[in-house]
Structure 1
Amino acid sequence: MSAISKVRLNRLFNQGKCLDVAIDHGIANEPDFLIGLEDITRVMQNLIVARPDAIQVNYGQADLLQQHQGDKPALVMRTDVGNAYNQARHREMWAVLHNPEEPILAALQMDAAAVVVNLYLIPDEPTIFRMCIENIGRLRHACERYGMPLMVEPLVMAPAGQGAAYGSLGDVEKIVPLVRLARELGADIIKADPTDNPEDFHRVVEAARCPTLVRGGGKGEISAVLNKSAALMAQGASGMVYGRNVYQHDNPAQVVKALMAIIHQGVSGEEALAIYQQNA
């Protein structure tokens, strides 16, 4: 990793740990994902005050973070868009980079600390898998050239017809090989689904051999989210990338405070719940 990449990583990780709040859900073109994000300017302002380590957005909202004066969370920019999260199965599944010719130009212009891209594994959909591999290849080349850390999000998706949409799976036997592939392709950071049994997550960390963040997924009950987060951190995770589990709660700032205590102070899920309940 280049010296510049390490500088950017240091902005993202505080003593090796990170809470990245993702609000890049508009790119999925799914109305349910936008609940809680209707006033994106207010959401961004509130998150900046709440002070997670990073905020993950698409290019069109990065200015809301970077125009803020003074200390602020680091910027993580998404680089791809696809149709894997849509409610209906599509005739053609696809995932493309926003700018395939200059895939990290926007991130450089906006002074991002890292870029993120998906690696979808969907049953009977080899085309989208190949497109993701090609996307990662283009990004890896550009990231190496300009000193930009690359976060890869390996997602083992359920077959069509299981649930409302293509949901991701927590099967450790399927997650580990895909995480290993992402690392082999050059990921500097892995963003992985939690394993069904949190005590198995150390296997994901071992396969990644780089900082490994846990993906949040859909909104859950707060005490369960905090307990699971603490258990995953105990298995060697470097932090969390949570979206709906932050911005769809009634008091996102208190959720951030509780998660930051788990990630940076090592408190238990029960202790984090008490923090959440203070002034909630």
Structure 2
Amino acid sequence: MTSYRLNRLFNPKSGRALDVAIDHGFFGEPTFLKGIESIDNAVSALIAAGPDAIQLTVGQARVLQSVPGKQKPALVLRTDIANVYGVPLDDHLYSHHFPDAVEEAVRLDAVCVVANLIQLPGRPEIREANIQSIMALRKECVRYNMPLMVEPLVMQENSVNGAYMVDGDTRKIVSLVRQARELGADLIKADPTSNVEDYHLVIEAAGDLPVLVRGGGGSISDRALLERTVGVLDQGAKGLVYGRNIVQHRDPVGITKAMMAILHDGSSVDDALLLIAGE
């Protein structure tokens, strides 16, 4: 029955979804706030662009859900908070979930909840905390027929820039995605592999679970981002969860429309680029 809610996430024509994540203020990192200084303005702009879903936190979800009408994007609710993104890192790292997160998701009419499964070099206690959260959330998700999206994140050693950055190692990503599946995820939000041509291995590890590809941060050209998107979709990904790639873009509405054209209409990269201002 969890699929009933997911019917509002995935496009009926393409079977794919674009979830725009603007839950970054939750993590307490100042650089994450660019483009979402005003959640009201960001949500309004995204509603106009028309993605399939917007990913928000318990404290911000009402901004989307108070908008009248049935055509607005669906709500994906972030349930956990961690401090692994700061520069420099805090001496003490943590990860916690809201104990009543699933009940909140029901009250807020979310289509699913999302929680991290983070692998940090030398910090197994964070992964353990995530596993504890996932098991607790899954118990409530089953009770309320709420889909659970698990976000496996494999991080590099933090000595690179003082914070943990995404590690695109295919072998590590596949292993963590498989663990997310074993823990009872209903859908997976996973990083792209460094070699995009390897992504079918991630899809294989997820089995029959839909995989939505995480955008992450970093500077990347519009063409490169769209080409990577086409690459992972061609190998079986069912959608995207892009955040800073969209909200920190010079034309958030245009890049959203470009993504939607590729996802749902099968547009080419060249045609999608025409939807972005300045291209």
What count of residue pairs does the alignment treat as equivalent?
274
Identical residues among aligned pairs (%) = 50
Q: TM-score scaled to structure 2, two decimals? A: 0.95
Shift of 1:147: 0.4
Residue 105 of structure 1 aligns to which amino acid in structure 2? E
Q: CA RMSD in A?
A: 1.3
Q: Tell me if structure 2 keeps the 8 A contact 1:229–1:269.
A: no
Give the Cα separation in 2 of the matches to 1:113 and 1:172.
Answer: 29
Residue in 2 aligned with 1:168? 166
Confirm or deny: 8 A CA contact 2:20 2:55 kept in the other structure.
yes
Unaligned runs of at least 5 residues, structure 2: none
In structure 2, give the amino acid aligned to 1:64: V
From 10, 15, 22, the equivalent of 1:13 is 10
What does residue 112 of structure 2 align with?
Answer: 114
Moved more, 209-218 or 157-166: 157-166
Aligned to 2:149: 151
The correspondence of residues 1-280 of structure 1 with structure 2, limited to 5 A, is 3=1, 5-15=2-12, 16-70=15-69, 71-98=71-98, 100=99, 102-209=100-207, 210-219=209-218, 220-277=220-277
| 1:73-113: CA deviation from partner (whole Å, max 9, x where unpaired) | 00000000011111123332211002x2x231111110000
Partner SS for 1:228: helix
Structure 1 residue 28: deviation in Å?
1.2
TM-score when normalising by structure 1:
0.95
- 1:230, CA displacement in angstroms? 1.0
Q: Once the two structures are superposed, what CA deviation does each residue of 1:13-34 show, in whole Å capped at 9, x if it has no partner? A: 1132000000000011111110
State the secondary structure of the residue aligned to 1:77: strand
Q: Retained in 2: the 8 A contact 1:57–1:76?
A: yes
**Which residues of structure 1 form unaligned runs of 5+?**
none
Summarize the Cα distance change of 1:164–1:224 in structure 2 as closer, same or farther, 3 Å threshold: farther
> CA offsets, 1:102-127, max 9 Å, x none?
23111111000000000000011011
Please give the alpha-carbon distance, in whole angstroms, between the structure 2 residues aligned to 1:36 and 1:233: 27
Query: Do the aligned residues in 2 keep the contact of 1:119 with 1:155 (CA within 8 Å)?
Result: yes
Partner deviation per Cα, 1:177-231 (whole Å, 9 max, x = no partner): 0000000000111000001111111110110121000000014221211111111
